[in-house]
């Protein structure tokens, strides 16, 4: 069922606006002419705190809430701190949902992660694959929290008639990414490793075999999809957001090395986990509604590397 277009002066609270996803959504909304955006950094409002979250939403008086706030990280961070990934994300989501309902906010979009799907789900992964099999053990706690968020969205729709929706983006990258090797995802970690190795004349060591296949979506494309879905999607079932194309981690490494200008040796540590063998989302539902991404992978990596050089390196 379609919704009405968002008014350009609608007050939109972007929870997590300082992160990779939230900052892209903020940027994308500004570029589309939205003039009343609200957000606080985690140092200003701790969304794990129920009262602080409720107070923030009351102060914001939003027409729309976009939930991009989350504790996120790569395989290493998820595997070593599962309690934090479970508890922090459950608290953030629950607090925001409770506060939004209390403030009578009828438009809300919750952003999850493609890790919610079973490790061995049929490829490409349809939305209906949710809860049909075992999760990838290395990020199970994070996935469970996100599944709880999707369930909460359905529950608020069912019990209170809220027009809230959830969307599941694939692996994201772009300006504002996290390049800390201890907590980053695979693509920014590669950019950092290849950059440092080129500068220091070192060999790059990467985890696993390089054989898993992954799909990558630029955050600016996700930002465009967020606005599109808020205006045109209204259903219980979550909806996938991706490109519909994937490549091997080894192919990704080769592309990143070319962009960075690294021509040295790459060594694969096969004693480290590969994670899910393949994770490609079925995006036919979203594409059928009329939305498709615009940023191709190699130019997207190049612009992300430029941002890294200007802001991090």
Annotated binding-site residue? 207: yes
* Backbone φ/ψ region at 138: left (φ over 0), alpha (ψ -120 to 50), beta: alpha
Give me the catalytic one of 142, 233, 305, 308.
142
Annotated binding-site residue? 130: no
Annotated binding-site residue? 274: yes
Annotated binding-site residue? 172: yes
Q: Pick from 85, 67, 23, 161: which is nearest to 56 by CA?
A: 67
Q: Pick from 92, 57, 69: which is nearest to 15 by CA?
A: 69
Annotated binding-site residue? 146: yes
The Cα diameter of the chain in Å comes to 60
233 catalytic, yes or no?
A: no
Q: Indicate the helix (H) or strand (E) that contains 260.
A: helix 249-260
- 3-state SS of the chain: helix, strand, coil percent to 5? 45, 15, 40
Strand locations in 91-242 (E): 107-111, 163-169, 171-173, 204-207, 213-214, 216-218, 239-241
Annotated binding-site residue? 111: yes
Annotated binding-site residue? 73: no
Annotated binding-site residue? 171: yes
Annotated binding-site residue? 94: no
Assess contact for 64 and 13: CB atoms under 8 A: yes
Annotated binding-site residue? 19: yes
Q: Which residues are annotated as a binding site for NADP(+)?
A: 16-22, 111-114, 146, 169-172, 185
Q: Which residues are annotated as a binding site?
A: 16-22, 111-114, 146, 169-172, 185, 193, 207, 214, 274
Mind telling me the catalytic residues? Answer: 142
Q: Which residues are annotated as a binding site for substrate?
A: 193, 207, 214, 274
């Amino acid at each position: 069922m379609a919704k009405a277009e968002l008014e350009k002066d609608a007050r939109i609270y972007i929870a997590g606006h300082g992160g990779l996803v939230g900052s892209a959504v903020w940027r994308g909304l500004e570029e589309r002419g939205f003039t009343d955006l609200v957000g606080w950094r985690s140092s200003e409002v701790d969304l794990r705190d129920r009262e602080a979250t409720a107070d923030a939403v009351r102060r914001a008086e939003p027409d729309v809430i976009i939930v991009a706030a989350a504790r996120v990280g790569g395989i290493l961070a998820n595997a070593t701190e599962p309690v934090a990934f479970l508890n922090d994300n459950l608290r953030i989501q629950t607090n925001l949902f409770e506060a939004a309902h209390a403030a009578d906010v009828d438009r809300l979009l919750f952003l999850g992660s493609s890790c919610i799907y079973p490790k061995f789900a049929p490829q490409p992964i349809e939305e209906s694959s949710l809860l049909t099999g075992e999760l990838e053990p290395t990020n199970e706690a994070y996935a469970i929290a996100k599944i709880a968020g999707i369930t909460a969205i359905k529950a608020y729709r069912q019990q209170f008639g809220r027009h809230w929706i959830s969307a599941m983006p694939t692996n994201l990258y772009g300006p504002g990414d996290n390049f800390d090797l201890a907590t980053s995802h695979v693509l920014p970690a590669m950019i950092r490793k290849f950059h440092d190795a080129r500068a220091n004349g070192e060999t790059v060591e990467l985890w696993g075999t390089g054989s898993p296949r992954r799909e990558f979506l630029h955050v600016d494309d996700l930002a465009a999809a967020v606005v599109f879905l808020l205006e045109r999607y209204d259903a219980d079932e979550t909806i996938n957001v991706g490109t519909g194309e994937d490549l091997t981690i080894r192919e990704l490494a080769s592309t990143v090395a070319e962009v960075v200008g690294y021509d040295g040796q790459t060594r694969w540590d096969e004693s480290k986990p590969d994670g899910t063998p393949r994770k490609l989302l079925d995006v036919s539902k979203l594409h059928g509604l009329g939305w498709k991404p615009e940023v191709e992978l190699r130019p997207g990596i190049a612009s992300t590397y430029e941002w890294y050089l200007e802001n991090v390196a």
